Amino acid sequence: MNCERMQPELEELFYGELDARRALELRAHLSGCEECRGFEAALAREMEVYSRYPEVEPSAAMWDAIRERIHTEESTPSPEYRSRWSFSLLAGWLLQPAVLRQAAGALALIVLSVSATIYFTSRRDGGNLRTGVQPSPVADPASTPAPDPVQVPAPDAAGTSALLAAGRPAPVRPAKAKQLTDDEMIRVQVGRAEREYAGAIRLLDRAIAERKQQLDAGVIAQYESSLALIDDSIAKSRRAMRQDPGDPAARQFLLAAYARKVELMQEIALR
């Protein structure tokens, strides 16, 4: 045997990695080979030296640091996970049948209420609105096909009735409804529109809150600044309406501000 070439195998034998048959052969060789026994003794000395090479002791603070990081991770998902989580949560939430129904209902009610309000406003003001303000296709009774009364949502029956009234013989209204003056009717409609806008805003606000972390900080800042301006317009219009409940401009401003707010929030929520 060539002893130098056997060294790798002798190392394997020493560290218990050699198969049994080859180990027997090498042991037989070792018993009669002084050079290989010398190599084996050198391996044993090396091993003794290596076994005394000190290990590194973790510092006392190491476990605390690990525990803190683990707790932080548990309470704050990773950015990648958070991003996926927020997106799927938002998508999941928006696609829930209840949310879809609420959103669709709110939007339908808003359209109907706003239309009704504008119709009443314009009728009371003798068509000023039509000439002074660009009419919305929905708001303009002349251009709006009359909806089938069967499909009209019950909660908004009064507003829809107003819409239906345009261009056709006045329907027979219940006696109670007839007792309301036009001003009262307008106030009811504005109040209803406000509530409906508020419902839509709440839905959108929740969606945006979930989505905020995904949005650029600049976009958020711009959104919040625009929102503050719109909220200011809403507050001013409300004050004007309190001072003069019959002020058509104040009503118009109020509803326009709500519409702009919903539009802005939709834009951010769907961004």
- Binding-site ranges for another protein (CB under 8 A): 7-8, 11-17, 27, 30, 40, 42-47, 49-59, 62-63, 65-67, 69-70, 73
Least Å distance, CB 83 to another protein, is: 17
The answer to whether 217 and 241 have CB atoms below 8 angstroms apart is: no
Residue nearer to another protein on the CB measure, 12 or 247: 12
In angstroms, give the least distance from the CB of 89 to another protein: 21
Q: Is residue 236 classed exposed, middle or buried when 0-12, 13-18 and 19+ CB atoms within 10 A define those classes?
A: middle
- Residue 84: CB minimum distance to another protein, A: 16
Is the Cα dihedral 81, 87, 90, 94 positive or negative? negative
Give min distance, CB of 14 to another protein, in A.
Answer: 5
Please identify, using beta-carbon distances, which residue of 11 and 247 lies nearer to another protein: 11
**Among residues 44 and 235, whose Cβ is nearest to another protein?**
44
**Nearest to residue 106, comparing CAs of 228, 248, 206?**
206
Residue 51 or 179 with smaller CB distance to another protein: 51
Name the residue among 193, 192, 207, 195 with its Cα closest to residue 99: 207
Query: What amino acid occupies position 214?
Result: Q
Taking the complex as a whole, how short is the minimal distance between the CB of residue 34 and another protein, in angstroms? 15
At 254 the three-state DSSP class reads helix
Give Dmax (Cα) for the chain. 124
162/184 Cα distance (integer angstroms): 14
Task: CB nearer to another protein: give 62 or 146.
Answer: 62
How far, in Å, CA of 250 to CA of 236, rounded?
Answer: 9
What does residue 270 show for φ and ψ, rounded to 5 degrees? Answer: -95, 5
Least Å distance between CB 33 and another protein?
12
